[in-house]
Amino acid sequence: MKNALINFFKKIEPDKKKAPFLHTAYDAFFTFAFTPNATTVNGVHIRDGMDLKRTMVMVVLAMQLCYLLGTYNIGHQHFLALGEHGGLLQGFHLKLFYGLIQLLPIFVVTHVVGLGIEFYYAYRKGHSVEEGFLVSGALIPLIMPPDIPLWILALSVAFAVIIGKEAFGGTGMNILNIALLARVFVFFAYPTEISGDEVWVSGLSKAEAGAAVTYGWAHLSFLNGIFESLGWATYNAAAVVADGYTGATPLSLAYQGGWENVTRVYSEGQMLWGLIPGSIGETSKPLILVGALILVGTGIASWRIMLSMFLGAVTMSLLLNAWGATPFMEVPWYYQFYMGSFFFAMAFMATDPVTASSTNVGKWIYGFLIGFVGMIIRVLNPAYPEGWMLAILFLNVFAPLIDNYVVEANMKRRAKRAKMLAANQSA
């Protein structure tokens, strides 16, 4: 059956010279649908049969729990703002479908723009469409706020793919993490769209009591018709933001008044499991750690980078605790990990094998510095109380230098050892 299907696709393959764009599209689909004819399973360098496609697919699979909770949390935060369906499972169908309607356009725009650009460059250069954007396209929606304007998202993806990837030669040649480059473009080009409280909770005109809530045709006409026929709760077009609601993230609250200010609004359990405002996929720590274990267990991500990044963040947090000049500095080091996107950055961003250090010693240095520098930016930068995006991009630039230092040090050590051995033998 498999051979018959392959033969069918071979028969309809467009001519590469007569229809180069059609051939590029065909090749992309064929590569996505079928595994290579053979993979190297032994040898000096290759240790298993994992190819690029399997690697990318495994990373995407490791993110799926983040997608599931992120989708539901979009709706959960929306209804908390209205003072409706406050229980975790109350209004389950409303929250889930609201999250889907909000997330799907973000996912689609990311892939249409990113893959469209990849198709174009593959067509122009005459090579196959590579699987590199498979991971970047899955990461970008997870690190964006749920209420980001789609046109800004499209610009950020185009910038990241063209300037950060294709300009350097395509998949495997980029020096900066593509997903983070898209996020940093939004942050610097449209700072008002990714700062403040409104952007982290979708569907609100303002995060103020009495502010109007926006629903579309899909909510009020299509879904409400289905839910009414089933006797379920429906979306309320007249709903407004509830009294006393704040859409502030834990990090912004911590910057304003320390840990006590955070716990007035959110419990430790809410922050741990991710039932808080924030980027779509970065909030649930246990689910992110499950993904991290999958990546480490399959040998895709480096545990050295993860552990050293954790140690670097702890070290700087302890130093800031000892300084204690502001309420944010006084937040105990272990509570720093309840807030923000540290674990997502550690598991899926810092460990990118293309942009991270490749030597074992270099990975320890690279990860430690990300944690160390990232905590400085998070606590001491009033404009952006989070630091992992900037810290990772900063260390991406220095990763080759770190590896060069490690290799040079090893060469000097070996040369010195060889000279000592030669001197002992001559003596």
- pLDDT in tens for each of the 427 residues of the chain? 556 666 666 666 666 566 565 655 666 566 656 555 555 555 444 444 556 667 888 899 999 999 999 999 999 999 999 999 989 899 999 999 999 999 999 999 999 999 889 888 877 777 666 666 788 999 999 999 998 999 999 999 999 999 998 888 777 788 999 999 999 999 899 887 776 666 788 988 787 888 889 899 999 999 999 999 999 999 999 999 998 887 788 998 998 889 999 999 999 999 999 999 989 999 999 999 999 999 999 989 999 999 999 999 999 999 999 998 899 999 999 999 999 999 999 999 999 988 999 999 999 999 999 999 999 999 998 677 688 999 999 999 999 999 999 999 999 999 888 888 888 877 6
pLDDT score recorded for residue 1: 57
Last residue of a domain, one of 247, 281, 316: 247
Specify whether 235 is located in the same domain as 336.
no
Last residue of a domain, one of 207, 229, 247: 247
Query: Does 259 map to a domain?
Result: no
Specify whether 153 is located in the same domain as 63.
yes
Query: Does 266 map to a domain?
Result: no
Query: Does 1 map to a domain?
Result: no
pLDDT score recorded for residue 33: 60
Specify whether 411 is located in the same domain as 340.
yes
Query: Does 281 map to a domain?
Result: no
Specify whether 74 is located in the same domain as 222.
yes
Specify whether 92 is located in the same domain as 223.
yes
Query: Does 43 map to a domain?
Result: no
From the list 404, 378, 79, the residue with the least C-alpha distance to 247 is 79
pLDDT score recorded for residue 30: 61
Specify whether 111 is located in the same domain as 231.
yes
Specify whether 233 is located in the same domain as 314.
no
Would you say the pTM of this structure is higher than 0.85? yes
User: What's the domain count of the chain?
Assistant: 2
Query: Does 108 map to a domain?
Result: yes
Query: Does 21 map to a domain?
Result: no
Specify whether 97 is located in the same domain as 213.
yes
Specify whether 222 is located in the same domain as 359.
no
Q: CA 249 → CA 196, 276, 305, distances in Å? A: 9, 7, 27
Provide Rg for the chain, Cα atoms: 24
Which domain range does residue 205 map to? 51-247
Specify whether 241 is located in the same domain as 322.
no
Specify whether 110 is located in the same domain as 239.
yes
Specify whether 228 is located in the same domain as 335.
no
pLDDT score recorded for residue 43: 46
Query: Does 201 map to a domain?
Result: yes
Last residue of a domain, one of 247, 278, 294: 247
